[in-house]
Homo-oligomer: A and B are copies of this chain.
Amino acid sequence: MTTIKDIAKAAGVSVTTVSRALNGYSDVNEKTRQKIIEISKELKYSPNTLARSLVMNKSKTIGLLISGLNRGSIKDNFTFEVLVGLNQYVGETDYDLVIFSTTSSKQREKTYSELCRERRVDGVIISGIRTDDPYLREVVDSEIPCVLIDIPIQSDSVGYVTTDNVQGVKKGVQHLIELGHRNIAMVNGHEYAFVSRQRLEGYYQAIEGAGIPINPKWVTNGDFEEKKAEEQALELLSTYPEISAILCASDLMAMGVIKAAKQLGKKVPEELSIVGYDDIILAEHITPALTTIAQDKVQMGFEAAKLLINMLENDNEPHTITLPTELKIRETTSTLRK
């Protein structure tokens, strides 16, 4: 494996000059540079980024702490789309992404900062972490630049990108209200997700905004799981048959709710309108196609990478980005049938 030493020898110069020539410094004779470049090509030289990182104390590497890289996250490919966005932006830079595997048994034997420091990543992107995850506290305390996805925390070294969850749900609920619904329930995620709190807030705002009294019993948690949501909906709809519409905090849960409706012999959307959240691939392909609040997951990844690299290179002030959502009206919502 060729090193700058080899090149120096071949060119009859010092390693210093080789280093400077290859890195485009100005204070090197253009002829010398050309010669060095030529020789380095002949010798098929590639710089050793490890050595460079060691001395420069930065690795041009971004760590990925992503919980959704497991079998359970395949159906809703939120994680993948974020990854695509990250990759898209990072691909245009000289950074690389390293995946910290946190699925394993050994996962919690290393603290967050150990993980980062060992690999000497310049920054980190975190997605799919719960608010009660011990790593989260560490992130805030740590000096390492970090961008969170869907967790609105910020400091000098941490920023975030998220979508406007309050507005999102509001749009969904208002759509139902416009269709004449007043008995609107909600199947939310769980209390350890920031987005769930925000989506609940959106629900309240929309309901109250329409002068409809809030019934806390009509709000339940489905843990973002299809099965759990199905069970919750089953109970909800049996106990309160007057419910005519349900807003779900994820499309997967909406699919569970559709199953519940089917079991109870309630036709969707004639007897029960359903709104999902996310706009996963499945949403438009199931029957009936799911009305949902779409968020651009690829964009989220893209912006997260952009934000982090900006923080790394320039240190711009506002480290936060909130993306809009879009209501996609499809076939699971219709006017209230008396």
Contact = CB atoms under 8 A, between A and B. Distances in A.
A131 interface: no
A338 B58 CA distance: 71
A99 B87 contact: yes
A154 interface: no
Contact of A118 (B49, B87, B103): B49
Interface string A81-117: 1011001101110001111111111110000011001
Interface in A284-321: 285-287, 298
A77 interface: yes
A97 to B, nearest CB: 4
A217 interface: no
A46 B281 contact: no
A120 interface: yes
A70 B48 contact: no
Interface size class of A (residues with CB under 8 A): 35 or more
A75 interface: yes
A69 B113 CA distance: 28
A74 B281 contact: yes
A53 interface: yes
Given A48-B118, A54-B50, A74 B84 contact: yes
A61 B61 CA distance: 13
A167 to B, nearest CB: 25
A80 interface: yes
Contacts of A46: 113-114, 117-118
A117 B47 CA distance: 8
Given A50-B54, A97-B101, A281 B75 contact: yes
A267 interface: no
Given A46-B117, A49-B118, A91-B107, 17 more contacts: A46-B114, A48-B118, A49-B119, A50-B59, A50-B120, A54-B54, A69-B84, A70-B87, A71-B298, A74-B80, A74-B281, A74-B298, A83-B83, A88-B103, A91-B102, A282-B285, A286-B286
Interface of A: 1, 44, 46-51, 53-54, 59, 61, 69-71, 73-75, 77, 79-81, 83-84, 87-88, 90-92, 96-107, 113-114, 117-120, 281-282, 285-287, 298
